[in-house]
Amino acid sequence: MADCLFCKIAAKQIPASIVHEDADLVAFKDIAPQAPVHVLIVPRVHIESLNALDECHGALMGRIIVVAAKLARDLGLAEGGYRLVTNCGPDAGQTVFHLHTHLLGGTPLSGRMG
């Protein structure tokens, strides 16, 4: 999508600290980290939010989780643990309307999730 921040990062039109990329996904460090490790995993294809998913996206969403878990292992988070978060819509505080999953870890995280 022409005017989407994460489409532009995925296309390398805007710089980001990329930690993983493949045919389907790009993962990069969050510009305003909320934990020692804060990575965003995004599909290359523009999907606005979880609200836009249907059955055809099942494999892609599975890959996001699998890549997040691999990154967590590679970044040394596996033993201590980590959190994956996908915000959807205003009540969850979604600010970028290109689907993304946050990988957060490297410190004990807040016990509250909402």
Q: Which does 98 bind (CB under 5 to 8 A by kind): ligand 5GP, Zn ion, none?
A: Zn ion
Q: Which does 60 bind (CB under 5 to 8 A by kind): ligand 5GP, Zn ion, none?
A: none
Residue from 11, 38, 3, 43 nearest 26 by CA: 43
Which tokens go with 37?
């490790």
User: Residue 12 to residues 6, 18, 26, 83: CA-CA distances in angstroms?
Assistant: 9, 10, 10, 27
The least distance separating ligand 5GP from the CB of residue 108, rounded to whole angstroms, comes to 19
The least distance separating Zn ion from the CB of residue 71, rounded to whole angstroms, comes to 20
| Candidate list 13, 95, 108, 114; residue touching ligand 5GP; CB under 6 A | 95
User: ∠79-85-87 over CA atoms, to 5°?
Assistant: 175
Residues 22-61, one symbol each (x = binds ligand 5GP by CB under 6 A, - = not), give ------xxxxx-------x---------------------
Q: Which residues contact 77 (CB under 8 A, 6 or more apart)?
A: 37, 103, 105, 106
Q: Catalytic positions, please?
A: 100
Give the residues lining the site for ligand 5GP (CB under 6 A).
5, 16, 28-32, 40, 87, 93-96
